[in-house]
């Protein structure tokens, strides 16, 4: 744990001339403003920095726009991407005057979720370990106008470039769905990913592994070590910042968009979770796959609320281009040991009680990590509190089940609009302990339904392929 005094000393020792004040908006984007280093003192860690919140998506209206950004000293680091030495601080948002946490601030939601967990006396820590996938492209172009739209992404690794004149073209392109773990020269991004990893480690994100992922065109995965709910979400924000900016250093671009390519795998964010109390893991036991009864009830809560969770864990229209059969996406709401075709998987790499966890596979990296992790924990806790039975495990390759058997397995929603309806009908579990508020849920549904409508009412390029000669 860092103190304000230690942060100030870090700034002085590093010769910081500026302080970058960062916070996360409703939908998971880091926002920032900067102040001269002379403005940094111990008081700002209590009183915060004032700013206008009316221009932040889904936040204040203009007549009540004054807000406070309260820095968390544990998030301090010297930003490696700034030309001038700059101290970075991540903040929680509070109301002016009362200093009350703002109910739409995602980081505040995550903090309230942790407080609620402790208040239940069931556990004191929820650990989260996300596995975020992303694409590293060489270029991206897109436009949308009233008379036309297009997108085009490119990568030197991509299978569609086997015939491109590269003076010379050396081949070794990665075919669709054959990008998992190839060595160079097919994998051209090893050094770039390593640079990302080393910088993450330097800034406190402890990486466990990095590798090329399944899709062609530079799909990648970097996994970091699990941490408590709030800290893991903080690390995911820093992770994205590092990945995007290291890529930019090298003239490349990164996207966490779940499905940027047709006919290949999308990017998920499989999320490992466990509950602990007094330093003791609570998910280890003698039930199915070495789980405890508490863990099975947690799974029961996740599966019961999974369709509503999609509105928060898969929050874009593009998310549902990934959640389709045939591309390793976990569309079937079942649980199983080792089985990657189930929505909930129980990893079996280790028999250690400390390693016992569940992995929820539907989320994708377009999610705001603070909101997604908090919602997942609230669903799991609802299962524990109400002793929700997850049913029988499904230890089969779900993708190969006969149609009559597959019909009996519940599915994730088929669209963002459907997921939002599920959230409207099932969100009481999120309101416990005032972790989420009815106001937040209403705002989220309104904002996200507008996004769904924006896509729904526009002609799609492929419609011209199918219907122009109608």
Q: Report, as residue numbers or ranges, the catalytic residues.
A: 52, 131, 133, 213, 221, 270, 340, 359, 361
Describe the crossing of helices 306-313 and 416-425 by its angle, rounded to 10 degrees: 120
Tell the burial category of 100 from Cβ atoms under 10 Å away from its Cβ (0-12, 13-18, 19+): exposed
The C-alpha angle 62, 368, 32, rounded to 5 degrees, equals: 50
| CA atoms of 460 and 455, how far apart (whole Å) | 9
Q: List beta partners, residue 394.
A: none
Residues 6+ apart with CB under 8 A from 197: 207, 210, 222
Show the tokens assigned to 254: 């990164």
Cβ–Cβ under 8 Å, residues 251 and 154: no
| CA atoms of 218 and 210, how far apart (whole Å) | 13
Q: What is the DSSP string of 431-465?
A: HGGGSS-HHHHHHHHHHHHHHHHHHHTSPPHHHHH
- How many beta carbons lie within 10 A of that of residue 154, not counting itself? 16
| CA atoms of 117 and 303, how far apart (whole Å) | 19
| CA atoms of 208 and 224, how far apart (whole Å) | 5
Q: Which residue reads 């199918």 in tokens?
A: 466
| Strand pairing report for 335-337 and 358-360 | unpaired
| CA atoms of 254 and 166, how far apart (whole Å) | 22
| CA atoms of 332 and 408, how far apart (whole Å) | 10
CB-side neighbour CA atoms (13 Å) of 161: 22
Peptide bond into 185 cis (omega under 30): yes
Show the tokens assigned to 286: 């003698």
Q: Please state, in angstroms and as integers, the Cα–Cα distance from residue 268 to each residue in 28, 130, 252, 319, following that order.
A: 16, 10, 21, 9
| CA atoms of 331 and 351, how far apart (whole Å) | 28
Residues 6+ apart with CB under 8 A from 248: none
The C-alpha angle 340, 131, 435, rounded to 5 degrees, equals: 105
Peptide bond into 168 cis (omega under 30): yes
């Amino acid at each position: 744990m860092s103190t304000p005094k230690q942060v100030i000393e870090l700034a002085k020792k590093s010769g910081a001339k500026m302080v970058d004040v960062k916070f996360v908006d409703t939908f998971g984007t880091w926002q920032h403003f900067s102040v001269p280093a002379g403005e940094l003192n111990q008081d700002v860690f209590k009183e915060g920095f004032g700013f206008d919140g009316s221009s932040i998506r889904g936040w204040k209206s203009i007549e009540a726009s004054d807000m406070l950004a309260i820095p968390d000293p544990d998030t301090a680091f010297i930003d490696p991407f700034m030309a001038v030495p700059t101290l970075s601080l991540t903040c929680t948002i509070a109301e002016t005057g009362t200093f009350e946490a703002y109910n739409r601030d995602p980081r505040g939601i995550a903090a309230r979720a942790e407080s609620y967990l402790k208040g239940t006396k069931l556990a004191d820590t929820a650990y989260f370990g996300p596995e975020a996938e992303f694409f590293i492209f060489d270029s991206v172009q897109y436009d949308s106008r009233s008379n036309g739209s297009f997108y085009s992404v490119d990568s030197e690794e991509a299978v569609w470039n086997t015939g491109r004149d590269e003076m010379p073209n050396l081949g070794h392109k990665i075919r669709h769905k054959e990008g998992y773990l190839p060595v160079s020269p097919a994998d051209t991004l090893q050094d770039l990913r390593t640079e990302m990893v080393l910088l993450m480690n330097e800034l406190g994100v402890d990486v466990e592994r990095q590798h090329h992922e399944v899709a062609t065109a530079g799909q990648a995965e970097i996994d970091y070590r699990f941490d408590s709910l709030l800290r893991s979400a903080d690390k995911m924000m820093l992770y994205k910042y590092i990945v995007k900016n290291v890529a930019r250093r090298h003239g490349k671009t990164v996207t966490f968009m779940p499905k940027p390519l047709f006919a290949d795998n999308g990017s998920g964010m499989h999320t490992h979770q466990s509950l602990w109390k007094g330093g003791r893991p609570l998910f280890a036991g003698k039930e199915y796959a070495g789980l405890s009864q508490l863990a099975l009830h947690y799974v029961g809560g996740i599966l019961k609320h999974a369709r509503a969770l999609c509105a928060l864990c898969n929050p874009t229209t593009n998310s549902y281009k990934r959640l389709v059969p045939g591309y390793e996406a976990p569309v079937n709401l079942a649980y199983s040991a080792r089985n990657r075709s189930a929505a909930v998987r129980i990893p079996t790499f280790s028999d250690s009680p400390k390693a016992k966890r569940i992995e929820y596979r539907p989320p994708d990296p377009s999610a705001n990590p603070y909101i997604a992790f908090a919602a997942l924990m609230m669903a799991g806790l609802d299962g524990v509190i109400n002793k929700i039975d997850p049913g029988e495990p499904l230890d089969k390759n779900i993708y190969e089940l006969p149609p009559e058997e597959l019909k009996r397995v519940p599915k994730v929603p088929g669209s963002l609009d459907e997921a939002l309806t599920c959230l409207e009908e099932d969100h009481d579990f999120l309101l416990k302990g005032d972790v989420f508020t009815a106001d937040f849920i209403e705002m989220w549904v309104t904002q996200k339904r507008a996004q769904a409508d924006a896509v729904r009412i526009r002609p799609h390029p492929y419609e011209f392929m199918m219907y122009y000669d109608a």
